[in-house]
Amino acid sequence: MTVHHKSPGAFKAVFQTFDDLADRSAGPGRLAALRSELARQGFDGYVVPRADAHQNEYVPACEERLAFLTGFTGSAGTVVILPTEAALFVDGRYTLQAPAQVDESAFTVVPLAQERPDRWIEEHLPRGARLGYDPWRTTLDGRDRLAKAVAAAGGILAPLEADPVAAVWPDRPAAPQAPIRLLDLSVAGEDTAAKLRRVQEKLVAEKLDGALISDPHGAAWLFNMRGADVAHTPLPLAWCIVPAEGLPDLFVESMKLSHAVRAALAGHARLHGVSDLDRVLAAFAKGNELGRNELGRRVRVDQATAPVRLAGLIEAAGGVVDKGADPIALLKAQKNPAEIAGMRAAHVRDGVALARFLAWFDAEAPTGRLTEIDAVEALETFRRGTGQLSDVSFPTIAGAGENGAIVHYRVTRTTNRAIHPGELFLLDSGAQYPDGTTDITRTLAVGRPTEEMRRHYTLVLKGHLALSRAVFPEGINGAQLDPLARQYLWAAGLDFDHGTGHGVGAGLSVHEGPARISQLGHVALAEGMILSNEPGYYRTGAYGIRIENLILVERRAVEGAQKPCLGFSTLTLVPYDRRLIDLALLDAAERAQVDAYHQRVAEALAPELDADVRDWLQAATAPL
C-alpha cells in the first residue's frame, strides 16, 4: 500500500462520528423539567449516575443520561440535583472537557479531587429534604455512601420507583437488539463447560450457593458470546445466575438469538428473556427445593456492578446477599494461550496499520493542511485496510496543541482545529479485531519540537520504560507499581492526574477489571493479565504528552528468588517518536531498551509493509 500521495479527502471514518453528541444549551430547560418531575414524585433531589444497570463504561444511546441532561459526554460522572443547586462530579480526565460542554449557570462542575458527591451532599442537602436514587443504576456500596451522607445532613434517602429522567426524555432512543454471535474455540481457547466448572469450583470453595452475574462481560466470557449492544465493545447485554452446581440461567432478549445460537447456548444454560429475571432470581434465592425453612440460598452479588434493586429482591425472597467480587472477573482477566496468541496477532496487524498511518502523517502534517479529524479518519481507514477491523475500541483521542492537554478529548466538527508545525499531536486510539483488542497512544512532533517539549516527553518515556522492565514477586499490586512510572516526573515536580494503566480484555472491553496500575489498584497482578502502560504529562493551554503500550504479565525466572516472580512483555508494536527523545536524559540501559524495542518493531512489521513505508520504518526505528 502506497501512502504518501493520499490526500485527507481519500479517508473517512465509519465507526466513529464527529457530531456534537449532546446540546449544552438544552441543559437548563431539561434540569427544570426534571425538578418538576421529581416534585411530582415527592422528591426534593436526585442522584443521576452515568452508568446503566450493569455499571458499564460504554452504554447504549438510551442510557446516556448525563449527555441528555447536561451535555457532558465523558464516560464517567455523577450529577446531584438539589432544589436550588446541581453539581456534576468528574474525575481528572474530564476537568477541562466538562466545563467546555456544560452550561455552568445550571450545573457546577466539581472535580472529584476537590470534592466527592457524598461529602457535597452532606454539606448542601437541606435538612429534612428527600433525596432519591435509582435502584437499578446504583450499587450497594453506592447506596451505602449516599445513606451515610444523607443521614449526616438530616435528610431522607429513598429509591424512586419510576425513572424521572425517562419521563422528561420524549425522544429517548430504543433499547439495542443487536444479534449475538458465538466465538470459535480457536479464539476463545476454552469451552463454556470448562469455564463453568472453574466458576462453580470457586463458588463451592467460598461456600456459596450461587452468584448473580450482573456484569455482562462476565456472561460474554462464560458463554463465549459477543454482541453489539454498546458502542465500540462487542458486548451483548445479559444477566446470568450461576448455581454452585447444575445449569446456569441466562437472561437475554430472545430476538438477539438466531436458531443456531439459541441451540448452542441451550446446551449450557436455561435461556430466559430479561423480563423473567425477577421471577427466576427470587425463586433461586428462596431455594424452596432445598427444604430450608430458616434461610434461602447464599448468593454472591458483585459489589461493583450489581444494582440495589436485585440485591433487595434476593433478600425479600429470603435469600442471603453475599456482597463481594464477581467470581468471573479474575478468571476472565487471566488470558489463556489462545487469547494471548490472538492479542499478539492483533497487535502485529495494528502495528502495520499504525506504521502506514505514521508514514503518511509525517509527510502531510508539516504542510499545515491536516486537521484533527483528518488524522482520525486516516487512522481508521488504515486500520480498515487490514481487512479485519470490527470497530474502534473507543473514540479516537486526537489532540493538537492545547487540545492534547484535555486527557480524554474527543474532536467534533465544532472543536476541530488544524495541526500546525511546531506543535505536539497526541493520538490515543485502539481497534477491535476478531481475535484481539488494541489500545495505543503516541505523542508526535509536528516539525521541530521545543527543548521543553523534548524534556517533558523524555521524562514520561523514562517512567514508561521503567514500568515495562519491572520484575516483581507474586502478590504485588498495581498501586505498588504505579510510582515506577511517575518517579522521574515527581523528581521534576510534575505528575499526571489519571491512573498509569488499566486492564484490557481479549476481544472484549478495552477497559477491564479487576486489576489496574494506579494508586487505587489493590488487586494483585497475575500471569496472563494484560494492562496498559500509559504515563503522561499535560500542560494546560499548550500540549499533552502520553505514551501507551499494552503489556502482558508473564513469569520471570530470577536466580535466587524466594518467591515466584513476574514481569511484563510488551504487545504493542509501534515506534516512539525519536525526534522527541532527549538523549542526554536517558542512561545507557534506557537507550538500549529503546533500541531493542525498535528492533523488535522493525522485525515484526517490515515484512508486511510496502517499500515506502518500510523505508520510513527503518528511519523511525534506527538505533538511538
* Domain-wise residue ranges, the chain: 24-167, 181-332, 334-620
Give the model's pLDDT for residue 20.
75
Could you tell me where the beta strands, DSSP code E, fall in 419-522? 424-429, 431-433, 436-437, 440-445, 471-473, 501-503, 512-517
- Identify the CATH number of the domain defined by range 24-167: 3.40.350.10
* Alpha-carbon span 579 to 100, nearest angstrom: 32
- Select the more confidently predicted residue: 105 or 3: 105
Note whether 406 and 72 are within 8 A (CB). no
- Look at residue 9 and tell me whether its pLDDT is greater than 90: no
Give the model's pLDDT for residue 287.
85
Give the model's pLDDT for residue 25.
86
Quick check: do 181-332 and 334-620 share a fold?
no
Q: Which of 6-15, 54-63, 201-210, 474-483 has the lowest mean pLDDT?
A: 6-15
Give the model's pLDDT for residue 2.
47
- Look at residue 269 and tell me whether its pLDDT is greater than 90: yes
- Look at residue 5 and tell me whether its pLDDT is greater than 70: no
* Alpha-carbon span 207 to 373, nearest angstrom: 54
CATH class of 334-620: alpha beta
Could you tell me where the beta strands, DSSP code E, fall in 358-439? 391-392, 397-400, 424-429, 431-433, 436-437
Give the model's pLDDT for residue 291.
46
Q: Three-state DSSP class for 504?
A: coil
CB atoms within 10 A of CB 10: 12
The confidence band for 109, taking pLDDT boundaries of 50, 70 and 90, is very high
Give the model's pLDDT for residue 97.
86
| Percent of the chain residues past pLDDT 70, beyond the cut | 98
Whole-model pTM? 0.93
Q: What is the pLDDT of residues 290-347, one digit of tens each?
A: 444 457 899 999 988 999 999 999 999 999 999 999 999 999 999 999 999 999 999 9
Grid coordinates belonging to 501:
494503566
* Alpha-carbon span 489 to 493, nearest angstrom: 6
Q: What is the rounded average pLDDT of the residues 510-538?
A: 97
* Alpha-carbon span 69 to 55, nearest angstrom: 18
Give the model's pLDDT for residue 1.
42
CB atoms within 10 A of CB 20: 15
Q: What is the pLDDT of residues 400-446, one digit of tens each?
A: 999 999 998 999 998 999 999 999 999 999 999 999 999 999 999 99
CATH class of 181-332: alpha beta
The string of DSSP codes covering 318-341 is: T-EEEEE--TTHHHHHS--HHHHH
Q: What is the pLDDT of residues 542-572, one digit of tens each?
A: 999 999 999 999 999 999 999 999 999 999 9
- Look at residue 6 and tell me whether its pLDDT is greater than 80: no
* Alpha-carbon span 161 to 132, nearest angstrom: 10
**Quick one: CA torsion of 60, 64, 67, 73, rounded to 10 degrees?**
-50
Q: What is the rounded average pLDDT of the residues 94-118?
A: 91
Q: Phi, psi at residue 415, to the nearest 5°?
A: -90, -10
* Alpha-carbon span 220 to 216, nearest angstrom: 6
Please give the mean pLDDT across all residues of the chain. 95
- Look at residue 21 and tell me whether its pLDDT is greater than 80: no
